[in-house]
A and B are shown apart, each in its own frame.
Chain A
Amino acid sequence: MLRGFFRQDAPTGGGRAGVDEDPLRACMQLERFGVIVTRGERWRAHPDYENVFQAALDAIDQRFSLVPEGFVSMPTTVTDEPGCPETDHETEPFLLARTCVTNAQYQKFVDAGSYEDLEIWPESIWPHLIGFQDQTGKAGPRFWRGGRHDEAKGDHPVVGICAYEAATYANWAGFRLPTEAEWQMAASWRIRTSAHVFRRYPWGDSHDPRRCNTWASGRGGTVPVGTYTEGAAPNGVLQLIGNVWEWTASDLEMTDDKGRPVVGDMLLKAIRGGAFDTYFSCQATSHFRTGLACLARAHNVGFRCVLDAGRRDG
């Protein structure tokens, strides 16, 4: 019955105004590089396959950075003090997007009719899809109008999207969201060497409002994803700290000091990194853990994508 609420005549990737009719070229046009690289086997016989495949690889090379294997320790209680209980997690190498997904990038997802394409959404979310609207009632992020983003903020991180919108975009583009451990690995750079190096921030161990957009920097809002280059991680990934919190694929699992589970009114998904309005610098670090209701469409939460290293067709 739910299918009747949504149009079924606009498959993602083709048939929309301005989008190439050819599915392979449409994927390139819509910046679904991960789909081309990891699921492109079906187009091997396409006359442009080699060129498009290489172009997608080049785009990924430009937009993603390698995070080497490592391990992280995550506190398990809400009181994050030295000596508090922790769990250790090992991470495999992976490719992490250097910037959060922007409004301009997300616009392609919206313009492709993705909000009407039930097939790309988890079935459990179908009843909620109708609520994923902007200020004018069009399908899209909460703060957009008329199905469009503010043109002046095309290069800002997209916000006003819940965890499911973030995950669905990532999957649509051929990527995924990072796990909490992967995100922390990228921000703390705790690689396996003889020296146990653990960075409190991607750039080092001291908070510096000149290197990240938090409340202390005085911006009062999001900034373009390519700024604050001085706060980059060693592999060039930008703004892991500040600007917007970032959705991860992980559920938030924490307890209080007496071992009682910490829960929300609905499922809490882990978010990391702090945002432009994060007041306490101790809450914008590589290891600070927090969460948000999975369906919350907050003004200060965005996301970035991950591609498993070495995962490709062709």
Chain B
Amino acid sequence: MGWMQADSGDPQLRCLICEALNTMDVVVCAECSAPMALVHDSVTQGRAPQIISVLGDSNVGKTVYLGFLLDMLSQRANEFEAIPKGAYSVDLQQNVVASMTQRQFPAKTAMEPDRWNWAYYQARKSGGRRSKWYDLVMPDLAGESLAAEIANPATYRVIRSLLTKSAGAMLLVDAALAANGATRPDFFALKMMSYIDSLFQTKRDAKVQTPIAIVLCKADHCPESFDDTRRFVQGSLNRLWNLCESRFQTVEYFACSSVGSLAYATGADDDGLDFARPIPLHTSLQGILEPFEWLISRM
């Protein structure tokens, strides 16, 4: 199948992400730190999975979004069936559910690739025997790692390899910050999309074909982003909008929210310094599945 190569009697496995050769007993790829369990599971399936990259700036909510998405799929939301391949695939959703039920946000994703959560799922939309199964790999990447890779390409080779192999991508953008007039969300998104554009190196006037869902997170802070998402992006993320219109063939815009009400515990921490810890008071899931549903219909 191309993943295994016998060499001098020592069987080896080719990493699913960067295709580097690794010995059979390694847990993570020696080159890019992607889990080798992905290869073992894909060998079992007999086919290579499709990769969906979930991208976004630090603190935009990638972990919470992906955790809820996977948990909803596991519970057959919107007639989807989803089966985790390997116990490691459940870690992310379990972590997110445990944290949010305790009214805490999950810990910040570590920058080291070997500490990222990788989810490998089989999913399909219920609809009889003819409905297609998708083998999907969706890693939870650290926003700071993405930023570092954009600033200095090849800092994180696994990100470059991941994006090059992705059948689709979601770019999460902080709608709350954008609505308040902050320019960081627009600039990060612009850089991320420019990076993706440069990866595919299409001919002049030819657009990038990979489908990309632009997902406005924390949209509960700005309800108008639900009412007319395209208009919101055009008004508050104009640089992103212009680039998408110029260079990307298949882009759609979505608004989502997972927190129904956000509060803060205020006061002094153990060192006597003032702080405000965000507390998700309760969940209210809106628009979590729609970007995923759209994306796999375009893949």
Contacts and interface: CB of A to CB of B under 8 A. Distances in A.
| Secondary structure call for the B interface | strand
Contacts of A268: 261, 263
Given A263-B266, A293-B261, A78 B103 contact: yes
Interface string A64-99: 000000000000001100000000000000000000
B281 A291 contact: yes
B47 to A, nearest CB: 31
Interface stretch (A7-15, A123-131, A254-262): A254-262
B285 interface: yes
Contacts of B77: 218
Contacts of B264: 262-264
Contacts of A79: 102-103
Contacts, number: 82
A277 interface: yes
Range class of the A interface residue count? 20 to 34
B279 A279 contact: no
A105 interface: no
B121 interface: no
Residue from B261, B262, B279 whose CB has the most chain A CB atoms within 10 Å? B261
Interface string B247-283: 0000000000000111111110000000001010111
Given A292-B260, A300-B260, A261 B283 contact: no
Contact of A135 (B101, B227, B261, B283): B227
B202 interface: no
Contact of A300 (B262, B279, B284): B284
Given A256-B279, A292-B260, A277 B286 contact: yes
A145 B283 CA distance: 28
Contact of A290 (B97, B100, B227, B261): B261
Interface in A135-187: 135, 142
Residue from B103, B279, B281 whose CB has the most chain A CB atoms within 10 Å? B281
A291 B261 contact: yes
B68 interface: yes
Range class of the B interface residue count? 20 to 34
A299 B260 CA distance: 10
A3 to B, nearest CB: 29
A282 interface: yes
A270 to B, nearest CB: 10
Contacts of A280: 97, 100-101, 283
Contacts of A277: 260, 284-286
Contacts of A78: 103, 265, 279, 281
A38 interface: no
Contacts of A283: 101, 282-283
Interface in B41-96: 68, 77
Contact of B265 (A245, A261, A299): A261
A275 B284 contact: yes
B282 A278 contact: yes
20 contacts: A215-B285, A218-B77, A255-B265, A260-B267, A260-B277, A261-B265, A262-B263, A262-B265, A263-B263, A279-B285, A280-B97, A280-B101, A288-B282, A290-B260, A290-B281, A290-B282, A291-B261, A291-B263, A291-B281, A299-B286
Nearest to A142: B223
A218 B281 CA distance: 22
Interface in B95-114: 97, 100-103
A218 to B, nearest CB: 8
Nearest to B282: A290
Given A78-B103, A275-B284, A293-B261, 11 more contacts: A79-B103, A245-B260, A260-B266, A260-B277, A261-B266, A261-B267, A271-B261, A290-B261, A291-B263, A298-B260, A299-B286
B95 to A, nearest CB: 15
B263 to A, nearest CB: 5
Given A79-B102, A282-B101, A292 B285 contact: no
A264 B262 contact: yes
Given A262-B279, A292-B260, A256 B265 contact: yes
Interface in A230-269: 245, 255-256, 258, 260-264, 268
